[in-house]
Amino acid sequence: MNVGTQATKRGELAHLRTLADVVADFRVRYAHLINGAHYDPVAAYSAKAPNLSEAISRACAGRREDGKMFAMDSCIFKPARDEFTDRMTARTGLVARCKTFDDLHDVVEAAAVRGIGSLLIYNVTCRIGAHRGLEPRDHVYLHAGPLKGWKRLTGSRESPKRVALSTLPDELTALPPRLIEDLLCEYRDLLNPGFLS
């Protein structure tokens, strides 16, 4: 259970009445993310790789610099991870030519095999992006928790993989896309269409 879900269940977020309130609370509660930290320590390790091939290997392996598996990656079956890593390694040239995060996400998504879901696709994209200096700019990516948050906020039943930043409320777009994704995930149990009025 994520921190935001726990805080919602304990009633700590009951005072939040508007989307502006949610964004203000996020800025305080998750200041470490706003100040440049990343929820995924594998991204920092991938960023320090000596070359792109090593960055791809680190990103797919899901291990932190200390060698421990990042918790979000621990449920991926080894055969699926190995095949995905091989497919990503074979795409090193394509990855090198990516100019945007969106392009990179599409390359990673095309390499996915059964057992590799949208969360790992996003995380691997962020990790390789950290090495390449690519971050989401024009879209917010929706997978797992962020998708639940977006659906609860908008009342939509659709499951898009990304939504254009230009379609989101102004309160959210005060944050960069990677932080909007974090907010949608952390506050997913609190959000509802009432926050849009």
Separation of alpha carbons 53 and 76, rounded Å: 21
Task: Residue 7: name the closest of 194, 197, 196, 187 by CA.
Answer: 187
- Assigned domain for 197 exists: no
Backbone angles phi, psi at 141, to 5 degrees: -90, 135
DSSP per residue, 9-35: HTTTTTT--SHHHHHHHHHHHTHHHHT
User: Which residue would you say has higher pLDDT here, 155 or 9?
Assistant: 155
Amino acid (one-letter) located at 78: K
**Are both 105 and 145 inside the same structural domain?**
no
Is the confidence at residue 7, as pLDDT, over 90? no
The pLDDT assigned to 162 comes to 95
**Are both 95 and 51 inside the same structural domain?**
yes
Could you give the percent of the chain with pLDDT greater than 90?
Answer: 79
**Are both 48 and 120 inside the same structural domain?**
yes
Per-residue pLDDT band for 1 (boundaries 50, 70, 90) equals low
Per-residue pLDDT band for 55 (boundaries 50, 70, 90) equals very high
Is the confidence at residue 37, as pLDDT, over 80? no
Range of the domain at 170: 3-37+138-192
**Are both 18 and 51 inside the same structural domain?**
no
- Assigned domain for 142 exists: yes
Work out the mean pLDDT of the chain and round it to a whole number: 92
**Are both 153 and 90 inside the same structural domain?**
no
Per residue in 114-131, pLDDT tens? 999 999 999 999 999 999
The pLDDT assigned to 14 comes to 85
Per-residue pLDDT band for 32 (boundaries 50, 70, 90) equals confident
Residue pointed to by tokens 């996003």: 122
Query: Alpha carbon 162 to chain centroid distance?
Result: 11
DSSP per residue, the chain: --HHHHHHHTTTTTT--SHHHHHHHHHHHTHHHHTT--S-HHHHHHHT-SSHHHHHHHHHHTB-TTSPBPGGGTTS-HHHHHHHHHHHHHTHHHHHH--SHHHHHHHHHHH--TT--HHHHHHHHHHHHHHHT----SEEE--HHHHHHHHHHH------SEEEGGGS-HHHHTS-HHHHHHHHHHTTTT--GGGG-
Q: 1-5, 29-33, 77-81, 160-164: which has the minimum mean pLDDT?
A: 1-5
Per residue in 176-195, pLDDT tens? 999 999 999 999 999 999 98
Count of structural domains, the chain: 2
Is the confidence at residue 47, as pLDDT, over 80? yes
Is the confidence at residue 24, as pLDDT, over 60? yes
